[in-house]
Chain A
Amino acid sequence: MRTRPRLYVSYSSEMALLPTWTQKISALIFFALLVVIPFGVIPGFGFLADNDWMKILSRVAIFAIGALGLHILSGLAGQVSLGHAFFVGIGAYTAAILGGEVGKGTWGLGLPIWIWLPAAAIVAAAIGAVIAPVAVRVRGIYLAIVTLGLVFIGEWMFRSLPFITGGSQAGRKFPGLEFRLWQEEVPLIDFTSDGSWFGVEMTSEAKTYLLLLVFVIIGVVIAKNIQRTRIGRAFMSIRDRDIAAEVMGVADTKHKVMAFALSSALAGVTGALMGAFVGRLIPEGFSLFLSIQFVAALLIGGIGTVSGTLLGATFVIVLPRLVQDFTGLLASTAESGTGVLAAIAAFFVSTAENDPGIVSTLPGTSPGLNIAQFNLLLYGLLLIGFLIFEPLGLYGIWIRIRNYWKSWPFTY
């Protein structure tokens, strides 16, 4: 009901993704903003159209798809998993075999994207479904340990199969982001070179970004829709109390396996896209750190919600860049002048061999952590901080702000 947002006359209206007009319109505006980012027309955010920021946003998009996968497994079905990186790897190498060219000592079939991308999802899902029955026999921390083992097994396997992965520290080439009908010379649509689309001149980065945006939106719709189906409700009931769910007739193992499979499928897509986007990956890339990044995205963003997952994914990917920019700023402040600000900045950064500080701008020569190490430290601190102070994550902060206005002029 348009003028009575809380009056639901059918289940479909109650379960609608965007139940009110306000939500429909704001979602549309948000979507439109995302689409026009590459054209640099948003006042104050024009810098996002720069190539390096376009690349960061593309990585956010790729990462978000995998995070949505983990959201289904951990956020909805409540199964803690540290093995997400393994499934990302499976997807990546499936894509590499099917879509990549034959290289020095590596296999490759050179098939088009419409085969290797779905195949990455299917193979990852299948392996997920095979492993899941074993994994879901344990719960909580034990499940975390089992999935942790998966990452190490995976990393070792990837290193030991050079004809697929290119071998340790060497890596291999991945298929490009091009759309071919079959193996023709000139791709039908090419996302990796500059050119004009519908008369608009666009860089390859902008094209890639728009393509990935489409994938993210598909992922969001899938994740959102799963949440409001019978399966999604089964997941959530298992999350809240698996024994109670089983007593109520929810098949426990079946749904846990489904959650694993769905989650792995999205992880596989992320892997495939990651490979295609970066071009070359080494087996060590699919390590525990990648898994932790996914968990961090969920916990920082807000576990159990799609919006929180997206927020978290953005945060985790953008943070290193912000740290880098900020360190640069501190370094120049420390060098340029005197005064309180410069002193504080000098305390944080170390710019020379004998200059103590927390972050070093000359890794190797000056003391302190390098940017990557500092990022790791930050993730850890943020994870602890959010778990203790804001268990609902960034999304929880938003919820509190929203409720403040929603209950106006009362408090409850």
Chain B
Amino acid sequence: MTMTRERVGEADLSDAYRTVSLMVRDRSHSTPDAVAMRDKDFGIWQERTWSELWDEIVLVAHGLLALGMQRGDVISIHSEDRPEWVIVDLAAVAIRAMSTGLYPTNPMAEVVYLVNDSAAKVHLAEDQEQVDKVIEAGPDAFPNIETIIYLEPRGLRSYDDDRLMFWEEFMELGRAHRAEHPGRVAATMAEARVDDIVTLVYTSGTTGPPKGAMLTNENATFAIENIILAKDRTADGKMPGPHDMVLTYLPLGHVAERIMSTWTMCSSGVILNFAESIETVQVNLQEIQPTLFFAVPRIWEKIHATILIKLTDATFVKRLINGFGYKLAAYIGRSRVKNDGNYTVGARLAYWVGNPLMFRALKERVGLRRCRWAGTSAAPIAPEVIEFFMGFGVPMVELYGMTENAAVATLNFHGRNKVGTVGEPYPGIGLRLDETTGEIQTKHPGNFLGYWNKPEATADTFTDDGWLMTGDVGVWVDGTHLKIIDRIKHIIITSGGKNISPSEIENSLKTSPFIKEAMVIGDGRKFLTALIAIEYDVVGNWALSKRIPYTTYRDLSEKPEVIELVQGIVSETNEKFARVEQLKKFRMIPKELDHEDGELTATQKIKRKTMEDMFSDLIAEMYGS
């Protein structure tokens, strides 16, 4: 195999803007044979070295050029996480084009909207399922799309659409183009500018249609410098590096996984390990034992619930020991929460006892044994969950950011971790609270360029003096740490005039392993109520052990025993809150919430408006009209 650098020529890119793609090229020169990625195929984690990775990126870049992509053109990617996702993403950056990611769960209507809104020229569809969403929309549904590249040929042989192109064909195109124009990609990379758009990230759109946030090279660099290369981030104080393992499983189109996976790999050379699917995350975690692990609260809640259930399901002797270990962990957790995440002497001693006894084995089972940084963000999380993991010695912190500021806002630094807050602003960035509304606003080079083709929406997001309005209300804790109250538009003002943050109550409910979703209602009403969805398999197991027969999700939800169980959890939660914040009534949601049915966004956030319309009868019943 000839080396990549011989083919693209030793183009001198030392003066070029250091885009994320250039960072990969540099790694392919300095450590060509080190592992960059692993992807599980037929039960084996197949490895890709940096030189192989860069080779593929260059080929894809040539292929995109051959398809006529130019600076500023868009390629839309509709696929689960897999190496090709990252390769296409970085190839687009290399030729100064940009990518936008769709969620695999996006139904056809949303695909039509997103692809047309971004005016993508080339569309990458993973398999037949995703290709169908394009083809079935009709021949004229996508005026801009010229080529649809697909990765999995299964079931697609009989399709005859001139736009379809198999991945191998596309790579062949790239090879031909490279032979004809060697060095074209390097030449384009040399022209990269600080304000080139690298990606469009579509906001989840809990209200209104999604908008494409434009992130530039400058935003990416700023995010890398502040978040990834933050000092005092990890438990051992070391920067991320080639020895770190990351599990890539959240949608890569989302800004969080972009930063935590793609950009961390580019900037620090960590190894990306692609999970087989979201269902296998827990198994893949055990195999990979990542050192840097980022998860959304939903995943943390799930791991938390799994641990709790397995601990109580253990056999007698194990349960005795677990009971003792759990007490130790609870003590350590409480102590660390009080001491900004640090160990007191007592907590350290307890850890020394508990770690060999069960913590280490427990962490190994759930895949967090080698974790030196564990992050949660993208949605609010109950402090109890963080405390739980801290008790077992997982260095877990909450951070905060949003797509529009390249996720650069606050982080709980190691040793200064205040649970319940989202941490301190990164050093030197502009972050303030609006004096009247308490809204968090940021101003720094991470602030996005604007919404794609939506100048009015962009203007609405910035204050007159150029600060980005996040839409979140926050307060300062101890003058250094930021605590998020809620989204401005979610805050409930009861008819009695009280301002209440529903997510705090919802998260408290969700710490129970039995509860999957909760939505608190009460805006303009006399009292608070909630719609509650159960965790199907957990409650199912519980029902089984109580010998309660059930057939479907709905049947299970409406069993009097289950309602009694939930009532217990609600009463327990109510005790933690003031009178006005207590839930007076609740109803069970009769179906499993789903993205395709429109109740959840692609990132599994509840669409409140849709929910209120869908379950208006349940709500009306509670307020007894």
Contacts and interface: CB of A to CB of B under 8 A. Distances in A.
A9 B35 CA distance: 11
Nearest to A4: B289
A6 B287 contact: yes
Given A7-B287, A7-B288, A409 B47 contact: no
Given A408-B361, A409-B311, A4 B43 contact: no
Interface in B295-350: 310-311, 313-315, 318, 321-322, 325
Given A8-B44, A9-B38, A409 B321 contact: yes
Which of A3, A6, A14, A409 has the most CB atoms of chain B within a 10 A radius of its CB? Answer: A409
A354 interface: no
B286 interface: yes
A178 to B, nearest CB: 49
Interface in B569-584: none
A11 B44 CA distance: 7
A294 to B, nearest CB: 35
Which of B38, B44, B311 has the most CB atoms of chain A within a 10 A radius of its CB? Answer: B44
Contact of B313 (A10, A11, A412): A412
Contact of B358 (A8, A408, A411, A412): A408
A412 B282 CA distance: 14
A409 B312 CA distance: 10
A226 B313 CA distance: 39
Nearest to A407: B365
A409 B289 contact: no
B44 A14 contact: yes
A9 B45 contact: yes
A189 B51 CA distance: 57
A411 B315 contact: yes
Given A4-B289, A7-B287, A409 B44 contact: no
A45 interface: no
B318 A409 contact: yes
A410 B365 contact: yes
Contacts of B361: 408-409
Contacts of A10: 44
A411 to B, nearest CB: 4
A14 B45 CA distance: 11
A112 to B, nearest CB: 47
Given A410-B313, A410-B318, A411-B318, A6 B370 contact: no
For the residues of B in contact with A, the DSSP-based class is helix
Interface in B521-548: none
Given A4-B287, A4-B288, A410 B44 contact: no
A410 B310 contact: yes
A152 B47 CA distance: 58
A297 to B, nearest CB: 32
A1 to B, nearest CB: 9
Contacts of A11: 44
Contacts of B38: 9
Contacts of A407: 365
Nearest to A410: B310
Interface string B262-301: 0000000000000000000000001111000000000000
A410 B314 CA distance: 5
Contacts of A9: 38, 44-47
A238 B315 CA distance: 37
Contacts of B314: 409-411
Contact of A7 (B45, B318, B325, B362): B45
Contacts of A3: 289, 370
A6 B287 CA distance: 5
A408 B311 CA distance: 10
Interface string A1-36: 001101111110010000000000000000000000
Contacts of B289: 3-4, 7
Contacts of B358: 408-409
A8 B43 contact: yes
B325 A409 contact: yes
Contacts of B44: 8-11, 14
A6 B286 contact: yes
Contacts of A412: 310, 313
Interface string A45-61: 00000000000000000
B310 A411 contact: yes
Contacts of B313: 410-412
Interface string A389-412: 000000000000000000111111
B218 to A, nearest CB: 37
A410 B288 CA distance: 20
A93 B358 CA distance: 59
Contacts of B286: 6
Contact of A409 (B43, B45, B288, B322): B322
Nearest to A14: B44
A410 B44 CA distance: 26
A390 B504 CA distance: 53
Contacts of A408: 318, 358, 361
Contacts of A7: 45, 287-289
Contacts of B310: 410-412
A4 B318 CA distance: 25
B37 to A, nearest CB: 11
B370 A8 contact: no
A411 B311 CA distance: 8
B551 to A, nearest CB: 26
A412 B313 CA distance: 9
B308 to A, nearest CB: 11
Nearest to A411: B314
B229 to A, nearest CB: 25
Nearest to A13: B44
Nearest to B245: A4
A412 B311 CA distance: 10
Interface in A362-412: 407-412
B311 A410 contact: yes
B316 to A, nearest CB: 10
Nearest to B315: A411
A409 B362 contact: yes
B212 to A, nearest CB: 37
B149 to A, nearest CB: 28
Interface in B47-83: 47
A410 to B, nearest CB: 4
Which of A10, A14, A410 has the most CB atoms of chain B within a 10 A radius of its CB? Answer: A410
Contacts of A14: 43-44
Interface in B200-240: none
Contacts of B45: 7-9
A410 B361 CA distance: 9
Contacts of A409: 311, 314, 318, 321-322, 325, 358, 361-362, 365
A409 B358 CA distance: 6
A295 B45 CA distance: 40
Nearest to A6: B287
Nearest to B310: A410
A6 B310 CA distance: 21
A412 B310 CA distance: 7
Contacts of B311: 409-410
Interface string B356-400: 001001100100001000000000000000000000000000000
A8 B44 CA distance: 6
Nearest to B283: A6
A4 B289 CA distance: 7
A401 B38 CA distance: 34
Contacts of A410: 310-311, 313-314, 318, 362, 365
A14 B46 CA distance: 12
A5 to B, nearest CB: 9
8 contacts: A3-B289, A6-B286, A8-B45, A8-B287, A9-B47, A10-B44, A410-B310, A411-B315
> What 7 A-B pairs have minimum CB-CB distances, sorted nearest first?
A409-B358, A410-B310, A411-B314, A6-B287, A408-B361, A9-B45, A7-B287
Given A410-B310, A410-B362, 14 more contacts: A3-B289, A4-B287, A6-B287, A7-B287, A8-B287, A9-B44, A14-B43, A408-B358, A409-B322, A409-B365, A410-B318, A410-B365, A411-B313, A411-B318
